[in-house]
Amino acid sequence: MITAIIIDDEQNAREFLQKLLVRYFPKKIAVLEICDSVATGVEAINRFQPSLVFLDIQMPDENGFGLFKYFNKINFDVVFTTAYKDYAIDAIKHSALDYLLKPINYIDLLSTIKRFEENDKIHLQNERISLLLQNISSDNSSFNKIALPTQNGYELVKLNSIVYCQSDSNYCKIICADGKELLMAKTLKFVEELLNSDLFIRIHKSYLVNLNFVVNFVKGDELLITLINGEKLPVSFRKKEQFLNAILHKK
């Protein structure tokens, strides 16, 4: 059984989440404690050693992200809860961590629990938390690294090392500058929404490229770009104008 703790300064929010978990997952999740602050949450985690923590982000006394400074090693998984879809959510997504938007509904909660059950081992949890804290402490709205879910766990990759992404049915292949290739069980659309739109551009239904690695663009019977590694990729006629605007602005 999954042991869980809820940390939220709003009484209604934490009690509502507890009721959802008790009602829909009575045989899967045991809520050991509900806490109203980071301080009481730290005490509960040390006492109960839960496998999962539902953590509110916006709290008056101490931001939810402050929880992690009290632990040398994170040996529990985290699901962030928040009423706001803002920069913090982008940082969480780039770190391959889970979140729920309030008001929390059963469908989103079910998806979260399923993902937790599928990833029964906390893989690279500390690295992902570290990446999250780097992202939220950044002075700008861009991120240097991203945690990509792969078949074997997660790969932490520098954004500007990604040359291009290629659609492969419901999978996406990530090609990096050092020759490394990563296969994600995600669609290209998912990856496109995750990556920085100023740096990456969709040139075709099957390709998303990093503009920094584009060497030239050739117009002929077919539209082609050449990348710094020598590979040539097609540009669809529908994407031509968008691509040209992007590279001209980039220059």
Closest CA to 155 of 165, 144, 167, 147: 147
Res 128 pLDDT > 90: no
**pLDDT for the residue 242:** 87
Domains and CATH numbers, the chain: 2-136 (3.40.50.2300), 157-250 (2.40.50.1020)
The pTM for the full model equals 0.77
**pLDDT band, very low/low/confident/very high, at 203 (cuts 50, 70, 90):** very high
Contact 73, 63 (CB under 8 A): no
pLDDT tens by residue, 45-60: 999 999 999 999 989 8
Mean pLDDT of the region 207-233: 91
Are 35 and 6 in contact, with CB atoms under 8 Å apart?
Answer: yes
- pLDDT of 251 reads 47
Residue 11 or residue 133, greater confidence: 11
Which sign does the torsion angle of CA 40, 45, 47, 48 carry? positive
Chain Cα centroid distance, residue 144: 13
